[in-house]
Structure 1
Amino acid sequence: MLAGKVGLVVGVANAQSIATGCARAFRDAGAELALTYLNDEARPYVEPVARDLDASLFEPLDVEKDQQLDALFRRITESWGRLDFLLHSIAYCRKEDLHGRVVDCSREGFAQAMDISVHSLIRMTRRAEPLMGNGGCILTVSYYGAEKVVDHYNIMGPVKAALEATVRSLAAELGPRQIRVNALSPGPVRTRAASGIEHFDELIEEARARAPERRLVTIEDIGAVAAGLVSDAARSMTGNITYVDAGYHIMS
């Protein structure tokens, strides 16, 4: 399904990451991949994934550092000269702001959460656009807390709402160039990032109990949908928020 396509995956933290499930599905479908790691501390957890997937490029990327973004896209340009798809699967909020009320979120914490979780998508898209001369797909990862208030998700709810609004705006702007922009909205998954949410075990069990399918989703479930969305089979889908949550979002 993705044979002959090249894609960038940003957000692999370890073998259990949502981005890993997506990257594996992309690779299994025939795509050639570039993967990134945050820093030297994170590299030992990401490198085995890159090796397992036979990633063609494996580069450092801290999205707060524009020079690293520029270097990454230079490498992609030099190696491939194009980019068919991009997965943006990163979010961050410092603990003291994530665990507090929205009304108590600091200015600095809010700005950093928005910068890393949302504006980084804009920065990547700006650099990816020239490489998608024949069209392409940009995919990010949201959560149900963007739409409804979820206990303990706190400031990340407004942040993910901004991410979803950004997806719609980018889709409208890039549509004439046949560049599609979509978001996945998975149900809760036990990942390193999710472990920072207070009472996450309660959230997991509520999702399992309330979802029509009475189960949790896996990174493999999410990856299968992601591979479909970046493929040509989804060429008429853009600006969408695609739920992968065993039906949890339909329940009142």
Structure 2
Amino acid sequence: MTLLAGKNAIVYGGGGRIGTAVASAFAEEGARVFLAGRTRARLEEVASRIRAAGGSAEVAEVDALDARSVDDHADAVAAEGGLDISFNLITHGDVQGTPLIDMELADYERPVLTAVRTQFLTARAAARHMVKQRSGVLLFFGGAGEPVREFSVGGLQVAFHALEAMRRQLAAELGPHGVRAVTLRTGGIPETLPAGFPGREELEENIAGKTMLGRAATLADVGAVAAFVASDRARTMTASTVNVSCGALVD
């Protein structure tokens, strides 16, 4: 029996590296995956791979920063048998590698404003349907962490802290309706770093060096954990953070 058989899952940013891994894991566990994003060609590529592996995937162009676009898509998915899982993995436009004292205000605040806006819109759209069916899971990614000394991350940690505050409030308000809210947190995923990223090799070594297992989490690791957390086997988990860091983050 697959973990997510009969479930409908929206993955925003389904064409990105993490979104692809999560969507593939969801489909492998039996979910019908709805890939949402702004670049249809990339989404279709991911959907084709999922279908070739025997999974079910649908594609839709959705602007996850636009309320009407998000609401209309969520309504359409819910009409297809319910909306069980919502995971927003769009990029936040953060600038990294630049010290705060050298950073422009726009670059600092962009990830904060983007993260809060998109997560609010997608969580709200999904939760409205989940409350009616008295079940569902809102997944968050990132998690609030300690200040990073070795590398300048701009407004990224501020964005993560804001999302954690939102997740806690959603968990409290939606819990009585059977809806869960959980954050997946890693210590960094080297596979997500683009080629030519400044200091990439040093950063990769730093990520792995901080773990207790001597290796960093992979995209496949994140997908597998996300599928479990989204399943009914994790039905007791809400208002919590799941550590997918190979021991880099100590709770």
Shift of residue 198 of structure 1?
Answer: 4.4
Corresponding position of 2:147: 149
Q: How does 1:61-210 map to 2 (within 5 A)?
A: 61-80=62-81, 82-93=82-93, 95=95, 98-102=96-100, 105-132=103-130, 133-143=133-143, 146-150=144-148, 151-191=151-191, 198-210=198-210
CA distance in 1, matches of 2:190, 2:15: 13
Shift of residue 45 of structure 1?
Answer: 2.5
Corresponding position of 1:52: 49
Shift of residue 90 of structure 1?
Answer: 2.2
Mean Cα deviation higher: 22-31 or 66-75: 66-75
Aligned residues: 241
Corresponding position of 1:228: 228
Q: Tell me, which stretches of 5 or more residues in structure 1 are unaligned?
A: none
Per the alignment, do residues 130 and 190 of structure 1 end up closer, same or farther by CA in structure 2, a change over 3 Å counting? same
Mean Cα deviation higher: 56-65 or 153-162: 56-65
Per the alignment, do residues 119 and 65 of structure 1 end up closer, same or farther by CA in structure 2, a change over 3 Å counting? closer
- The sequence identity of aligned pairs, in percent, is 28
The answer to whether the 8 Å contact 2:11/2:36 transfers is yes
CA distance in 2, matches of 1:116, 1:179: 24
Q: Tell me, which stretches of 5 or more residues in structure 2 are unaligned?
A: none
CA distance in 1, matches of 2:37, 2:176: 32
The answer to whether the 8 Å contact 1:171/1:179 transfers is yes
Match of 2:11 among 9, 12, 24: 9
SS of aligned partner of 1:9: strand
SS of aligned partner of 1:3: coil
Per the alignment, do residues 152 and 199 of structure 1 end up closer, same or farther by CA in structure 2, a change over 3 Å counting? farther
Shift of residue 239 of structure 1?
Answer: 1.3
TM-score, normalised to structure 1, is 0.85
The answer to whether the 8 Å contact 2:37/2:64 transfers is no
CA RMSD, 1 decimal? 2.3
